[in-house]
């Protein structure tokens, strides 16, 4: 009786398999090796796809970061102009600017709502 440990360490007995020594175990090992090779190949292709997706997402985040930086600069310049207007005695011009901003906001809201 020959004992061989398979998988979880449980012994498996050689029940009448006396073909050329370990040929049955070799066939089982080949089958398991092929199964493992298939799984490794699937994991490799999946990891390559994940890497590609990460690169695309990083590129998109970089572009969004640049867009937010430019929008922040534009907003900062606009706020600076508004502060300069508020310091002066040009309250009438400031009111017109605020009304224009509200008008643009409502037009943008209306356009978005129609979509």
For tokens 């994940």, the residue is 50
For tokens 């040009």, the residue is 90
pLDDT tens string for the chain (115 positions)?
455 555 555 455 555 445 566 788 899 999 999 999 999 999 999 999 999 999 999 999 999 999 888 888 888 888 888 787 667 666 777 788 889 999 999 999 888 888 7
pTM listed for this prediction: 0.45
The residue ranges of every structural domain in the chain are 22-88
């Amino acid at each position: 009786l020959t004992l061989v440990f398979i998988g979880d360490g449980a012994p498996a007995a050689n029940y009448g398999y006396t073909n050329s020594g370990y040929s049955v175990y070799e066939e089982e090992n080949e089958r398991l090796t092929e199964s493992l090779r298939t799984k490794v190949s699937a994991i490799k292709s999946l990891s390559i796809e994940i890497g590609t997706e990460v690169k695309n997402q990083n590129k998109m985040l970089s572009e969004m970061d640049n867009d937010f930086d430019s929008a922040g600069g534009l907003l900062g310049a606009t706020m600076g102009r508004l502060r300069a207007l508020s310091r002066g005695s040009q309250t009438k011009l400031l009111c017109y600017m605020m009304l224009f901003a509200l008008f643009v906001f409502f037009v943008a809201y209306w356009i978005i709502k129609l979509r």
